[in-house]
Amino acid sequence: MNQYVIAIDQGTTSSRAIVFDHAGTVASTGQMEHAQIFPHPGWVEHDALEIWRNVREVIAVALAGGNLTRHDIAAVGITNQRETTVVWDRHTGEPVYNAIVWQDTRTQDIVRSLAADGGTERYRQRTGLPLAPYFSGTKVKWILDNVAGARERAEAGDLLFGNTDSWVTWNLTGGTDGGVHITDVTNASRTMFMDLATLAWDEEILADFGVPASMLPAIKSSSEVYGKVASSQLLREVPVAGILGDQQAATFGQAAFGAGEAKNTYGTGCFLIFNTGEEIVRSKNGLLTTVGYKLGDADPVYALEGSIAVAGSLIQWLRDNIGMISTAAEVETLAAGVVDNGGVYIVPAFSGLFAPYWRAEARGAIVGLTRFANKHHIARAALEATAFQVREVLDAVNADAAVPLTELKVDGGMVANDALMQFQADLLGVPVIRPTVTETTALGAAYAAGLAVGFWKDLGELEANWSEDKRWEPAMAPAERERQMRLWKKAVTRTFDWVD
Ligand code: G3P
């Protein structure tokens, strides 16, 4: 009875359900990819109904795979791609528009007009965020401004907004039949609507954006019983008891609970989170301030975050858009065919540039091409792009924080790539450490849910579950490291001011 916790990870490329036991070991999983919809350059959408169907399916697959029923599951935790914006009708459950994905840059003009009064730092003091298309706020505004009838329906109280955590939770707990409309503090901190200090929606910002408060989910902690799964679902009656945005979940899953601890997750994008404890640190170096987690009634824990929009999705792009490889894994083999990048640099500013630049008008570039360059160099440059971006983010963390980071815990799909992790350690000049369980995102959500129902009793128990699998020590000569960084930074400047 109740020997497991299930986590639902609603990510950018796929939805997954992962069942964990008390030791934090994966017992079974289900995974399904969903369509990436690119209607125009810079636009990225998902079908929210497809996502919900997939979530139901992956739960079924994970339960069946482990030979489990709802009676074996103590709680459900939810983690999600953050900022991706769903607006739906509370009476029918129908989204009024596709989900607008965090990578989408269509709201540049909205950002520009909001920034006319006070600049892009206008809301930084209250929200911890620069004005940028990345966050949910301008995406909700775009839907209300552009979908016929949406604003009237929102003002009449008929529409609900949420990131995909809210969308999945509302459906899982009953949808039109009594579903709870909530989010947690970590997701709320990515909307641009939440005051970091009070953890409440900011009425003035909502008024500036023209977004009715009635659309917004109630803000909850990251670990408490929010409700139970509806009777129509396989997991009926199981408490839904934890929600964390995926990057915060990975931090929690890495047991980086204390101030000064950090992790870096290599997924679709790449996100370094640095725990600042109960202190709200406002970045002077292009990082975001965000909520790390809040357990029930305890005080919130804050963090600095370096967000990189494109990491694994560059490899996906080489596969799906360019056709240079047929599986993502092939990029590693190709890259291994040459000793260096041959002078080629790829700056994947597909969604503009995020940290530390925040330039929505940048667009991607491949530079340093000569007749010598071949697909091996391109593959290598694609992998290296991630490591260079991480080094720039780490420099910003070290500039903002009192004490420099002396090691970096890593997780996510790309940490299976040995050569990339070695190059990463070389560029950073500090050891890079991979834990035994690399499913830290789902694990973090499971932990938050399990803590709320007493499946795990405290953070100490979770810390004891963490163990090191492998570490990469820096081996590159400092002069070579600095030469590489100089060239990378020069390549980055080539992407600036591209969009008129
Ligand atoms: O902020 C976006 C982030 O939450 C998406 O993460 O893992 O889907 O790249 P991922």
pLDDT tens for residues 215-235? 999 999 999 999 999 999 999
- The closest-lying atom of ligand 1 relative to the alpha carbon of residue 270 is 9
Q: What are phi and psi of 254, to 5 degrees?
A: -85, 5
Task: State which ligand 1 atom lies nearest to the alpha carbon of 265.
Answer: 7
Q: Which pairing describes strands 86-89 and 99-100: parallel, antiparallel, or unpaired?
A: unpaired
- How many angstroms does the Cα of residue 301 sit away from the middle of ligand 1? 20
d(CA 79, CA 165): 6
Distance 45 CA to ligand 1 centre (A): 14
Q: How far is the CA of 350 from the centre of ligand 1 (A)?
A: 15
264 in contact with ligand 1, CB cutoff 6 A: no
What torsion do the CA atoms of 29, 12, 223, 154 make, to the nearest 10 degrees? Answer: -130
Distance 11 CA to ligand 1 centre (A): 7
Task: Name the closest-CA residue to atom 3, ligand 1.
Answer: 81
Sheet holding 262-266, edge to edge: 288-293, 301-308, 270-277, 262-266, 408-411, 432-435, 468-472
Residues 6+ positions from 264 with CB-CB distance below 8 Å: 270, 271, 272, 273, 390, 408, 409, 410, 411
Q: Where are the beta strands (DSSP E) in 173-213?
A: 182-184
Helical (H) or strand (E) element with 203: helix 203-209
The pLDDT of residue 466: 92
Sign of CA dihedral 53, 59, 65, 68: negative
User: How buried is residue 310: exposed, middle or buried, by Cβ count under 10 Å (0-12/13-18/19+)?
Assistant: buried
Residue 84: which of 130, 140, 124 has the closest Cα?
140
Q: What is the pLDDT of residue 499?
A: 78
Residue bearing the CA closest to ligand 1, atom 8: 12
Instruction: Say yes or no to pLDDT of 1 above 70.
Output: no
Q: What is the pLDDT of residues 445-486, one digit of tens each?
A: 999 999 999 999 999 999 999 999 999 999 999 999 999 999
Q: 15 - beta bridge partners?
A: 10, 32
Q: Is any ligand 1 atom within 6 A of the Cβ of residue 128? A: no
pLDDT for 157 equals 96
0.90 cut: is pTM over it?
Answer: yes
Q: What is the mean pLDDT of residues 96-121?
A: 94
- Asked if 350 and 309 count as a contact pair (C-beta separation under 8 A), the reply is yes
- C-alpha 483/C-alpha 344 separation (Å) is 14
Confirm or reject: Cβ of 165 under 6 Å from ligand 1. no
- Residue with the nearest Cα to atom 7 of ligand 1? 267
Which tens digit of pLDDT belongs to each residue from 261-290? 899 999 889 999 999 999 999 999 999 999
Q: How many CB atoms lie within 10 A of CB 236?
A: 11
| 269 in contact with ligand 1, CB cutoff 6 A | yes
Which residue is closest in CA terms to ligand 1's atom 6? 81
Q: Which two tokens stand for residue 42?
A: 């810079």
Q: What percent of the chain lies above the pLDDT cut of 90?
A: 91
Residue 257 confidence (pLDDT) above 90: yes
For the stretch 360-379, pLDDT in tens is 889 999 999 999 999 999 99
Nearest-CA residue for ligand 1 atom 1 is 82
Burial of 10 (C-beta count, 10 Å sphere; 0-12/13-18/19+): buried
Residue closest via CA to ligand 1's atom 5 equals 81
